[in-house]
Amino acid sequence: MNTKQQIIKKHLLAIEKILKKYNLYSSTEPTEYMLSSTQPFSIDRLKPEEWLQFVFLPKMFALLEMNVDIQHFNVSAYIEESLHKEQNVELLVQELIALESIL
Q: Give 25-72 pLDDT, tens digit per residue.
A: 999 999 999 999 999 999 999 999 999 999 999 999 999 999 999 999
CATH number at residue 66: 1.20.1440.40
Domain coverage including residue 54 = 3-101
59 contacts 70 by C-beta, under 8 angstroms: no
The per-residue pLDDT for 73 is 94
The reply to whether the predicted model has a pTM over 0.85 is yes
Is residue 5 very low, low, confident or very high in pLDDT (cuts 50, 70, 90)? very high
The per-residue pLDDT for 1 is 83
Domain count, the chain: 1
